Amino acid sequence: MAGIEVVFDFDKTIIDDDSDRWVVEQLGLTDLFIKLVPTLPWNILMDRMMKELHSQGRTIKDIAECLKRTPLHPKIISAIKSAHSLGCELRIVSDANHFFIETILEHHGLMDCFAEINTNPSLVDEEGKLRILPFHDFNSSPHGCDRCPPNMCKGLVIERIRASAFTKGKNRIIYIGDGKGDYCSCLKLKEEDYIMPRKDYPLGDLIRTNSSLIKAGVHEWSDGEELERILLHLINTVKSEDHSTNIGNFSPLTSVDLNSHAVALSAQEPFHAVIEVPH
């Protein structure tokens, strides 16, 4: 049995867009969003957007219907189902929120594949308004990591996942992500782990720029088809190592060329011509 934790980012990794950006644009809040983005932290701004939708008479169901239309590559769905059926434990670590993620996963029949979703909590208040809260309460217990936004440090989540996974015999992590917010996670991974950064997205650039800090094996993917192929290959590699017990002496795929390609840590991600998403 492969002792593998597969940890997925959500936006631009499981879905092929950013769920926050998708809802803001699809429900007509782009202008207000752009006006407020310089004044509020992202997480609070999204809560403000939900307030605005409620004041315009949009219901939770409207938001859910909008989320169900987000693009999700069919090969990502089969990759998730295959990894789960091969005995891996699957988790999500995302700076979106529970309502967005669960609505999309349920729509595609994927909720049962995941052991845990680590993201910003959400709730529906007494007025029927969706509220989005920070994962870490940055007033009462700031996470203290200067690489990450105040509401969520993914590196801390990875440390906790490793501690709990170890007690269950899952001692290898495969981390799949695309954004700057995933870099802190990658710094916590070890030689026996793998990182699957999305090709030509900010995480891959950060890994190349800081290659001396990265211990895990790096394998890039660019679309759902490639994600599925590489993920299943890595899982099978780990499983075959279980038999040979010769850990560390293999090269199943050509690792990404870690040449220098400087990208400032503070640079914004130009995900979209109108709305830039910093995670």
Instruction: Examine the residue annotation and report whether 18 is marked as an active-site residue of this protein.
Output: no
Per DSSP, the three-state class of 15 is strand
Q: Is 95 annotated as a binding residue?
A: yes
Task: Please give the size of the binding site for Zn ion, defined by CB under 5 A.
Answer: 6
Strand order in the sheet with 172-177: 114-120, 89-97, 4-8, 172-177, 194-197, 217-218
Per-residue x/- track, 26-65, Mg ion (CB under 5 A): ----------------------------------------
Distance in Å, CB of 156 to Zn ion, minimum: 6
Per-residue x/- track, 116-155, Zn ion (CB under 5 A): -----------------------------x-xx----x-x
Instruction: Examine the residue annotation and report whether 9 is marked as an active-site residue of this protein.
Output: yes
Tell me whether strands 172-177 and 130-132 are parallel, antiparallel or unpaired.
Answer: unpaired
Candidates 25-33, 101-109, 132-140, 172-180: pick the segment binding Mg ion (CB under 5 A): 172-180
26 token code pair: 């699809």
Give CA–CA dist 75/46, Å, rounded: 29
Reported as type and span, the H/E element at residue 213 is none
Burial class of 173 by CB neighbour count within 10 A (0 to 12, 13 to 18, 19+)? buried
Select the residue interacting with Mg ion from 20, 178, 228, 269 (CB under 5 A). Answer: 178
Burial class of 138 by CB neighbour count within 10 A (0 to 12, 13 to 18, 19+)? middle
Contact partner, 145, from Mg ion, Zn ion, none, Cβ < 5-8 Å per class:
Zn ion
**CB closer to Zn ion, 155 vs 217:** 155
Residues that constitute the known binding site for substrate: 20, 95
Residues with a known catalytic role:
9, 11
Q: Which residues bind Mg ion (CB under 5 A)?
A: 9, 11-12, 178-179
The binding site for Zn ion (CB under 5 A) comprises: 145, 147-148, 153, 155, 184
